[in-house]
């Protein structure tokens, strides 16, 4: 375990640091050799591990679902087909319960969001030292965060992509004037034109805050829950090096937390998918 040569603080920082590629202070480009170097690289630095694992898990999702779709059988389905069909039906029922508009994108988007976020969250169930240890043995990287949803760059990227779709369909379905009116003429209304004009700045402030809070809350909710779960796994892993008695207790605690964390992994994927569908439903509403 990495903690054998690190203090507790160094061990925690090691597991919470990303493999970062960017520009060094001397102008050269390369991988950060410490958390301090990664911080100095600034905004344009790339978290290579988050990029790799998120793209890898997206490829896993596409591979298995495409394979099942190509080999689907009308007879007695196999275990993989049963599993994929169960997920598709679950997502389809959720979409039908939350979305009343007509948009062929929403269903596939909901399925992609749910499966992708679920796979990223599930990486939290992999022992915290296993993959970093394998990468260190291969000489690939000293840092390796394998749970993309514990990186705010990933969660905000997904949330902002959903937000862009919300803005696009809001303008498309309501028109620019209708969307602008939604932001400036609600929630306070008045028949007097002078009062209505006075209320526009107040309405805009309230509605704009509500609008901007959607992607922020979407990203921070997923990040916060998964980051906290990862931190608990790391703290429990430290107990395994504190002697046989505490180590055995830590092992049991690790198992209990992993079982409980399965619920969090699934729940956070479901919440992200549901909020995505709900926000798109609001973008398609034209009755105001």
Give the catalytic positions in this structure: 217, 221, 225
User: Taking the CB of residue 11, how many other CB atoms lie within 10 A of it?
Assistant: 22
Can you say how many angstroms the Cα of residue 146 is from the centroid of all Cα atoms in its chain?
A: 13
Cα–Cα distance measured from residue 19 to residue 23, given in angstroms and rounded to the nearest whole number: 13
- Strands lying side by side in the sheet with 20-23: 29-31, 20-23, 46-47
Chain-centre distance for alpha carbon 276: 12
Neighbouring residues of 235: CB distance < 8 A, sequence distance ≥ 6: 12
Identify the CA nearest to 182 among candidates 158, 164, 200.
200
User: 16, exposed or middle or buried, with CB in 10 Å at 0-12, 13-18, 19+?
Assistant: middle
């Amino acid at each position: 375990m990495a903690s054998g040569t690190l203090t507790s603080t160094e061990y925690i920082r090691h597991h919470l640091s990303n493999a970062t590629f960017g520009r060094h202070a001397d102008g050269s480009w390369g991988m950060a050799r410490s958390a301090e170097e990664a911080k100095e690289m600034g905004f344009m630095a790339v978290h290579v591990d988050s990029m790799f694992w998120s793209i890898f898990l997206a490829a896993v999702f596409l591979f298995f679902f495409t394979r099942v779709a190509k080999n689907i059988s009308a007879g007695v389905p196999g275990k993989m087909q049963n599993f994929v069909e169960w997920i598709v039906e679950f997502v389809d029922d959720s979409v039908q319960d939350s979305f009343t508009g007509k948009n062929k994108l929403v269903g596939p988007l909901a399925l992609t969001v749910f499966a992708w976020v679920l796979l990223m969250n599930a990486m939290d169930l992999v022992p915290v030292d296993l993959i970093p240890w394998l990468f260190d043995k291969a000489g690939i990287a000293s840092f390796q965060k394998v749970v993309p949803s514990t990186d705010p760059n990933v969660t905000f990227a997904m949330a902002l992509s959903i937000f862009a779709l919300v803005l696009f369909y809001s303008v498309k379905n309501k028109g620019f004037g209708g969307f602008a009116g939604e932001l400036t003429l609600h929630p306070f209304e008045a028949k007097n034109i002078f009062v209505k004009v006075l209320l526009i700045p107040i309405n805009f402030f309230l509605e704009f805050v509500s609008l901007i809070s959607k992607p922020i809350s979407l990203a921070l909710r997923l990040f916060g829950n998964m980051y906290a779960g990862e931190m608990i796994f790391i703290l429990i892993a430290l107990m395994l090096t504190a002697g046989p008695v505490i180590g055995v207790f830590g092992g049991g605690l690790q198992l209990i937390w992993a079982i409980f964390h399965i619920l969090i992994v699934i729940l956070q994927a479901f919440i992200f998918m549901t909020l995505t569908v709900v926000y798109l439903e609001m973008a398609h509403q034209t009755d105001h």
